[in-house]
A and B are shown apart, each in its own frame.
Chain A
Amino acid sequence: MNKIMVEGINKNMDEIIERWITRMKEEKGERFFHFMPDHLVEKTSREFAVLMTSNINESSAANTERISDFTEKVVRFGWAIKFVNKAIDNFSDVVYEFLEEKEIINESNLRTFNLIFRNWINPLRESIIDAYSTEWERTVSLQKIALQELSASLIPVFEKISVMPLVGTIDTERAKLIMENLLEGVVSQRAEVVLLDITGVPVVDTMVAHHIIQAAEAVRLVGAKCMLVGIRPEIAQTIVALGIDLHEFTTKSTLQRGMQAALGMTNRAIVEVEAN
């Protein structure tokens, strides 16, 4: 029975794919089939069709690899999982209708075919959705790693003066990382003054302020001074409204002013020299 079905499908693959594409184009909210170049739609659809039919007659191991290849592709195309699911539904419908038209499915073998379809589509759907979510999880965890790499490095600028530019949202995890990098850097770079630049921090709420205060206190304990720079006017106002006490800190509006102050604190200054 399987054999007849596979033959029926393979012989009429082109028409099945064509019908499937027509149906997918009718789906709302997905632009893939409308905006992608035709050859790409054709190629992806054919791959999808091959994928869909492969597990009827192939070993499951070969299939797993093919499924993960394919899902990687659709994730990159930005197909929503709902859409992938719909694609599977439509494909199974098209094939069923087609086999009915060709009278491969008739009243006498309807039950058998129903069973074959169920055994065919369900495991396939499960593994495709599984591979899809794995692919997403991988993407998310990669981005998380990339985000961590962006975090907080302490840059030695002058002798005894280091700068740490903070960029982006500070959550608990990053705050920990900032603290570690800051203390390690202060010790290894023998910094006496550290400038924390918060120009790139979008929101300074009490938690962020709390972490900054703790970091400054820790820096003080290892024998250096901490200065807060890059305080934008709107951030200054919210800090005042929140009632956060930054009296212990030297604060400056820009990194430039902070640097001048830091040089002053280490008894140095930048002077202009006359050109010869």
Chain B
Amino acid sequence: MNFRSSVEIITEWDIVAARQLGRNEAKKAGFGTVDQARITTAISELARNIYLYAGKGKIEIERVSEGGAFGIKIIASDEGPGIPDLRKVMEDGFSTSGGLGAGMPGVKRLMDEFKVSSEPGVGTIITTKKWLH
């Protein structure tokens, strides 16, 4: 049941592959179009962060169940430079790449659960979940 599929993020087009996979998994899990768009967009943000800041990494998508609730779990991991100030990246409007700075806080709002662990020089792992309501 806990089948996990993953996409390596190396080029910009892998972002498209990752979110396509996410959309398919979300559809299979029974999410509606709005939640599908939320999940797809969240994956797009996470994958783009990997591409922009770490160069390469991995997006894993898994269907999960916990105490009768079903949902989808996304794990974005890389071995990039890490995030020096976790509090800062969760602020709206903070960006080091001249972007909008809405990516990370946006993902948190798009999904139900959000957890980030990062160590400078080692890498970053972001785990986020969305539940079927």
Is A37 close to B, CB under 8 A? no
Chain A residues touching B, majority SS: helix
Total contacting residues, chain B, CB less than 8 A: 23
A203 CA / B48 CA spacing, docked (Å): 13
Of the listed stretches A98-106, A206-214, A257-265, name the one at the interface; the rest are far from the partner chain.
Answer: A206-214
Is B129 close to A, CB under 8 A? no
Minimum Cβ distance to chain A for residue B133 (Å): 14
Question: Which positions 199-236 of chain A face chain B at CB distance < 8 Å?
Answer: 202-207, 209-210, 213, 233-235
Is A241 close to B, CB under 8 A? yes
Of the listed stretches B30-38, B55-63, B66-74, B76-84, name the one at the interface; the rest are far from the partner chain.
Answer: B30-38
- Of B33, B92, B99, B105, the contact of A234 (CB 8 Å cutoff): B33
Minimum Cβ distance to chain B for residue A27 (Å): 27
Q: Which residues of A contact B45 (CB under 8 A)?
A: 205-206, 242
Chain B residues touching A, majority SS: helix
Minimum Cβ distance to chain B for residue A60 (Å): 36
CB of B12 within 8 A of CB of A171, answer yes
CB of A203 within 8 A of CB of B19, answer yes
Is B123 close to A, CB under 8 A? no
Quick one: given A241-B110, A242-B110, A243-B92, are A203 and B103 in contact (CB under 8 Å)? no
Other A-B pairs, 5, CB within 8 Å; known A206-B99, A206-B103 = A171-B12, A209-B102, A237-B37, A238-B110, A244-B102
**9 closest Cβ pairs, A-B complex:** A242-B106, A234-B37, A205-B44, A234-B34, A241-B109, A238-B41, A206-B102, A206-B100, A241-B110
Give residues in B with beta carbon < 8 Å to A.
12-13, 16, 19, 33-34, 36-38, 40-41, 44-45, 48, 92, 99-100, 102-103, 105-106, 109-110
